Structure 1
Amino acid sequence: MNSQTRLVLGTALAGSLLLTGCGAGQPAAPPATSAASGEETQQLTEIGIGVLPIVDVAPLYLGMKQGIFEKHGIKLVPQIAQGGAVIVPAVTSGQMQIGFSNVTSLAIARDKGLRVKIIAPASGSTGVDGADYTAVMAKKDSAVTDAKSLEGKRVAVNTMNNILDSTVSASMRKKGADPTKVKFVEVPFPDMAAQLEAGNVDAIVVSEPFVTVAEDEGNVQVLSNYALATEDLTVATYFATEEFIQNEPQTLAAFRAAVVESQEFATANPDKVRQILTEYTKMDKSVAERVTLATYPASVNKVAVADVAQMAETDGLIKDAEKVSDLVAE
């Protein structure tokens, strides 16, 4: 990977600030009045939402660009986080109203007693082995070729004890391999390919655009951890606190309706998804045209969410999957 590509991709997933943007939960300015017609424009409810600049949130940006959120009376203010770990505490502390997070992180938060719940879908696995937007990858000439050969190896994940290593473990079990024999190590996505090339790790678990970039460098996929972990895996969602859900039912309903419409628009217009990726992630157009996209479901798969919680319990990330059975808000 050349230095320019590393810089672009590093910037895409890291974000320029810990949290940028403001105005969470504040109504927009009073309706403006047209001098010509005397008609008032629609008053919008302003919502600060914590996101990461990754493929999973493409429908959110498309929805804003297409005027979908505005049509539903919502003005979104994306607050870009450097990593998902800061979004949950930012939402629970009231710094923003809504956040984006993978399901494992939310199950862990709920298990710890945090009053967070899933309110809308974000992204899901394609379910296709060998053609998903996240994969375990190794060098082409490596001894790592399948789940079994991962035993005893060093495998890089961007965050320890979370959805990547948990789904890798679940996939290995399904293939008859023992994930307890894997040495997971934490490496940021932009640094993984270099660590693999240097021989510091034997395999890497990457999401797009790093899957495509790693393949361009001659590496190969050896395990589709999302596709194999469980059927129709819900990877990430939007969430809020129980207080917000109880106190802002109209805002919640409007946000959900806008998300569903945006998800459906993105599913029907993959070319527009690829275009928007070059805008909010700064992804190179040549890469955006070739990445495998996530799916953008219109509803949360509660069965898959329960499966993710069970994986987390099996791996010791949470104490009791049953305790988080109410993770998805009604």
Structure 2
Amino acid sequence: MLKTVAKALAGAAVVAVALTGCGSGSPSGSGGASQQGGSGSLTKVTVGLLSIAPSAAVQYGVEKGYFSQEGLDVQFQTGQGGAAMLPAVSSGSMDFAVGNPLSVLVAADKGLDMKIVTGFSNSIASGNDIEAVIVKKDSPIQSWKDLAGKTVSVNAVNTQGDLTIMESAAKEGADPKAIKFSEVAFPDAQAQLDRGNIDAAWVPEPFMSKMLSDPNYRLLGYPYQEVIPGLPTMVSFTSGNFAKSNADTVQKFKKAMQTTLDAVQKDQQGFKASAGTFLKMDAAAAQKLNMEEMSAELREKQLTDLGSLMQKYKFVSKQPSVDSLLVK
């Protein structure tokens, strides 16, 4: 099972130190509650982001002025994992964060008062998705059910990766408990597959495209599409206390995110340029990134289906009440 978020909350002070200022529309300051200055000034909000390509949408929105148009001065803080940002948001070290919805649902199940403000990124409902399970070309694994008794790498257990892989196998009649999961960092998955330490690798972009361009590997399938097509991969969230005490700021943030993500979806070239800057990667390489569908839409059905799966596999103690978690 996942470590309890209550334990993570106890280490919120440590988390806050571990998070690093990344950048903003103005010089980055310390995190904390938003503050309104004099007449006409901007309200400073601290937003936690993961150091991955989709997170660059927030930088894109800052660069285009969509947040300042709503009266917000966005300060970035970057972290290495979504779970680390939950206690920071809950304790008030961050005002908002962007992370995977599963972690937010688990946090709520553990008693943290969290609110999902907007959607952010989603897997692709049909066609080529942004994550996949990949096997070697000569592997005997031909279908999801063949994963029973095999070892599959995921970046972390009890996440949307192993959850949807287990359900994909179960849908074909296999025992999901017979699948072994090994925690392997995405950049190391290909090497572990080559060495025979794992039988299949679950990887997102850009690792997926890199492996599939090599004739020594082949696609087994897209577990998100198999189980919950269009599954949200990230959402923006805040604490219940912040949402209640700063309702106007939350609505401004929500509107700015909607404007930003609509623009990002239409301007892929500009978005990828921002991603290159955000990730400090080569501009030409950034333009080749395959991106999730970016949208602020709150996909309540898919989130509810995710919650049902989480309960089925005991990631949470009860069916999450998604509706009560949404800022509408």
TM-score grouping bracket, smaller chain normalisation: 0.7 to 0.9
Output aligned runs, 1:246-265, within 5 Å. Answer: 246-265=244-263
State the distance in 1 between where 2:278 and 2:320 align. 37
Output aligned runs, 1:275-286, within 5 Å. Answer: 275-286=273-284
Number of equivalenced pairs: 303
**3-state SS of paired residue (1:137):** strand
Q: Could you tell me how far 1:142 is from its partner in structure 2?
A: 1.9
1:53 maps to 2:61 = no
Match of 1:169 in 2: 166
Output aligned runs, 1:206-225, within 5 Å. Answer: 206-218=203-215, 219-225=217-223
Q: Could you tell me how far 1:49 is from its partner in structure 2?
A: 1.0
Deviation per CA, 1:223-264, whole angstroms, max 9, x where unpaired?
A: 101222213322210111110110001100110000000010
For 1:19, give the aligned amino acid.
L
State the distance in 2 between where 1:241 and 1:154 align. 37
Asked if the contact 1:212/1:287 (under 8 Å) is kept, the reply is no
Question: Structure 1 residues 254 and 293, CA, compared in 2 at 3 Å: closer, same or farther?
Answer: same
**3-state SS of paired residue (2:170):** helix
Residue number among 191, 194, 202 corresponding to 2:188 in the alignment: 191
Asked if the contact 1:266/1:296 (under 8 Å) is kept, the reply is yes
Coordinate RMSD, CA, aligned:
1.9
Asked if the contact 1:55/1:294 (under 8 Å) is kept, the reply is no
Match of 1:69 in 2: 67
Q: Which moved more, 1:173-182 or 1:261-270?
A: 173-182
Question: Structure 1 residues 291 and 175, CA, compared in 2 at 3 Å: closer, same or farther?
Answer: farther
Question: Structure 1 residues 284 and 193, CA, compared in 2 at 3 Å: closer, same or farther?
Answer: farther
Deviation per CA, 1:70-113, whole angstroms, max 9, x where unpaired?
A: 11111111111012221111111211111112111111111111
**What percent of counterpart residues are identical?**
30
Q: Could you tell me how far 1:178 is from its partner in structure 2?
A: 3.1
Residue number among 32, 37, 43 corresponding to 1:24 in the alignment: 32
Match of 2:14 in 1: none
Q: Could you tell me how far 1:290 is from its partner in structure 2?
A: 3.1
TM-score, normalization: structure 2?
0.86
Question: Structure 1 residues 247 and 20, CA, compared in 2 at 3 Å: closer, same or farther?
Answer: same
Q: Which moved more, 1:270-279 or 1:152-161?
A: 270-279
State the distance in 2 between where 1:200 and 1:45 align. 51
Question: Structure 1 residues 325 and 29, CA, compared in 2 at 3 Å: closer, same or farther?
Answer: closer
Question: Structure 1 residues 273 and 221, CA, compared in 2 at 3 Å: closer, same or farther?
Answer: farther
Match of 1:233 in 2: 231
Question: Structure 1 residues 55 and 167, CA, compared in 2 at 3 Å: closer, same or farther?
Answer: farther
Residue number among 145, 160, 164 corresponding to 1:148 in the alignment: 145
State the distance in 2 between where 1:117 and 1:293 align. 25
State the distance in 2 between where 1:289 and 1:177 align. 40
Asked if the contact 2:152/2:201 (under 8 Å) is kept, the reply is yes
Q: Could you tell me how far 1:323 is from its partner in structure 2?
A: 4.8
State the distance in 1 between where 2:156 and 2:257 align. 27
Deviation per CA, 1:35-83, whole angstroms, max 9, x where unpaired?
A: xxxxxxx411111111102133232121011111111111111111012
Asked if the contact 1:23/1:46 (under 8 Å) is kept, the reply is no
Match of 1:5 in 2: none
Q: Could you tell me how far 1:324 is from its partner in structure 2?
A: 5.2
State the distance in 1 between where 2:155 and 2:252 align. 34
State the distance in 1 between where 2:271 and 2:76 align. 17
Deviation per CA, 1:94-149, whole angstroms, max 9, x where unpaired?
A: 111111121111111111111011111111011125x1111111222222232122
For 2:114, give the aligned amino acid.
V
Match of 1:132 in 2: 129
Question: Structure 1 residues 249 and 323, CA, compared in 2 at 3 Å: closer, same or farther?
Answer: closer
**3-state SS of paired residue (1:144):** coil
Match of 2:104 in 1: 106
Residue number among 171, 179, 182 corresponding to 2:179 in the alignment: 182
Asked if the contact 1:124/1:294 (under 8 Å) is kept, the reply is yes
Q: Could you tell me how far 1:158 is from its partner in structure 2?
A: 0.8
Asked if the contact 1:110/1:324 (under 8 Å) is kept, the reply is no
Q: Could you tell me how far 1:286 is from its partner in structure 2?
A: 4.7
For 1:54, give the aligned amino acid.
I
State the distance in 2 between where 1:170 and 1:325 align. 24
Q: Could you tell me how far 1:160 is from its partner in structure 2?
A: 0.7
**3-state SS of paired residue (1:80):** strand
Output aligned runs, 1:79-94, within 5 Å. Answer: 79-94=77-92
For 1:304, give the aligned amino acid.
Q
Asked if the contact 2:67/2:74 (under 8 Å) is kept, the reply is yes
